[in-house]
Amino acid sequence: MASIKEAKEVLKRFYIEVPSWAYGNSGTRFKVFASPGTPRDPFEKIADAAQVHKFTGAAPSVAMHIPWDKVEDYSKLAQHAKDLGVRLGTANSNTFQDDDYKLGSVCHPDAKIRQKAVDHLYECLEIMNITGAQDLKLWFADGTNYPGQDDLSGRQERLAESLRKCYDRLGPNQRMLLEYKFFEPAFYSTDVPDWGTSYVHCLELGPKAAVCVDTGHHAPGTNIEYIVAFLLWKKRLGAFDFNSRFYADDDLIVGAADPFQLFRIMHEVNQGGGFDVGTPVSYVLDQCHNIEDKIPGQIRSITNVQEAVAKALLVDADALMKAQVAGDILGGNDILMDAYNTDVRPMLGELRAEQGLDPDPKAAFARSGYLAKISAERIGGKQAGWGA
Ligand code: PSV
Ligand code: MN
């Protein structure tokens, strides 16, 4: 086993960004269930996110979704976050909820609509200039529903042109992260359906563009850890959007469906240097809590990721390399499985205690009475959801 002390050192500086939209109401196209205490505005979302950091010590930044988190004064929102011990993180663009985008946004056949979408990306960059966020995350709902609806390579051409316009406006420390998703909302063709498409566009753009791997955006059986290993090797893994899927893009709690897959991904991250000091990889949750309580759901997500990371850090890298060089197939597999089968929860509890935190963040949050407090206080107004 690799040293527990070393693993703890890495875990102490391993941060996960939480998504502002996880605190609002969400659901399926069949029903969105409201829940008491749900934030009514971005300020309340940040307050809830700050609770996740308070109890885990591992979630100091909050990803924003524009315009869901639109406010008059972003410096005021940034100050509010700071006052609560967190900061505003990645700006997520949204070019999928406007009537103009029926045929796409940055790939739309009409140049005026493409420019409207690019102007929105510029707006996100301006917000980032105020909040100090470094990453602009791009996910495009662009695609077609029927063969013959549009010209597939023409759409790639338009995509490249729109991305270039945005890239050219990036500040010296800003990055563009291009997320892919194999289907939905388009069903016949999607313009950024896979990591290869994203990777090629990023390569053409330049070093400030990298791929975002949303763990829920793959067909069943896809070897996500291979994608992660490859992108790390090519230095183009920019970020993760973590969540879990049983069927498609379920957006459930990361590690819920397949904790072994999460471990395998984290092992490749570790092998590829993704936990090193100054890593360019950012770790972000992209989830919704449709029926469970949102803040405990986020806390559980953080602890699930920490457990997978801790297990990956316990893999005996030297022994693994020796086994691989010797062609010891089962020996190599044993080394991974030993680490995976280790119960790391006591070690993580110990680490939290060393950091002055409660070893069990979810239980500590439950005892805090925060949920009852916000349920009593947040009366009236319109609860936030996708679009508010
Ligand atoms: C799309 O399914 C996605 O994963 C993108 O990251 C969006 O920004 C996010 O979900 C929330 O809509
Ligand atoms: Mn995502």
Kindly state if the Cβ of 243 falls inside 6 Å of ligand 1.
no
d(CA 69, CA 300): 24
Kindly state if the Cβ of 26 falls inside 6 Å of ligand 1.
no
Range 226-240 average pLDDT: 98
Beta strands in the chain (DSSP E): 18-19, 61-65, 87-92, 135-138, 143-144, 175-179, 189-190, 209-214, 237-242, 282-285
Range 196-224 average pLDDT: 98
pLDDT above 70 as % of the chain: 99
- Per-residue model confidence as pLDDT tens digits over 170-192: 999 999 999 999 999 999 999 99
Task: Kindly report the protein residue whose alpha carbon is nearest to atom 1 of ligand 1.
Answer: 139
Task: Give the mutation target among 18, 26, 65, 92 for probing the ligand 1 site: most ligand atoms within 8 A of CB.
Answer: 92
d(CA 158, CA 150): 12
Number of the ligand 1 atom closest to the C-alpha atom of 21: 11
**What local confidence, expressed as pLDDT, does residue 1 receive?**
54
**What local confidence, expressed as pLDDT, does residue 3 receive?**
86
- Per-residue model confidence as pLDDT tens digits over 44-103: 999 999 999 999 999 999 999 999 999 999 999 999 999 999 999 999 999 999 999 999
Q: Could you say which ligand is closest to the alpha carbon of residue 22?
A: 1
**What local confidence, expressed as pLDDT, does residue 386 receive?**
86
Using CB atoms within 10 Å of the CB of residue 174, give its burial: 0 to 12 exposed, 13 to 18 middle, 19+ buried.
Answer: middle
Task: Kindly report the protein residue whose alpha carbon is nearest to atom 10 of ligand 1.
Answer: 286
Identity of the residue numbered 39: P
Identity of the residue numbered 298: Q
**What local confidence, expressed as pLDDT, does residue 2 receive?**
67
Long-range residue pairs from 191-199, CB within 8 A, at least 24 positions apart, any chain? 191/104, 191/107, 191/140, 191/142, 191/143, 191/155, 191/156, 191/159, 192/139, 192/140, 192/142, 192/159, 193/143, 195/227, 195/230, 195/231, 197/156, 199/231, 199/234, 199/236
Kindly state if the Cβ of 249 falls inside 6 Å of ligand 1.
yes
Token pair 């993180």: residue? 89
Range 146-169 average pLDDT: 98
Range 136-159 average pLDDT: 98
pTM of full prediction above 0.75: yes
d(CA 165, CA 61): 28
Range 345-374 average pLDDT: 98
**Which option is the CATH number for 15-313: 3.20.20.150, 3.10.20.90, 3.10.530.10, 3.20.20.70?**
3.20.20.150
What rounded mean pLDDT belongs to the chain? 97
Check pLDDT > 90 for residue 388: no
Task: Give the mutation target among 177, 214, 245 for probing the ligand 1 site: most ligand atoms within 8 A of CB.
Answer: 214
Q: What is the side-by-side order of every strand in the sheet holding 135-138? A: 18-19, 61-65, 87-92, 135-138, 175-179, 209-214, 237-242, 282-285
- Per-residue model confidence as pLDDT tens digits over 11-44: 999 999 999 999 999 999 999 999 999 999 999 9
Q: What is the CA radius of gyration of the chain?
A: 21
Tokens of 189: 């063709």
Kindly state if the Cβ of 139 falls inside 6 Å of ligand 1.
yes
Asked if residue 193 has a cis previous peptide bond (ω within 30° of 0), the answer is no
Q: What are the phi and psi torsion angles at 32 (to 5°)?
A: -110, 115
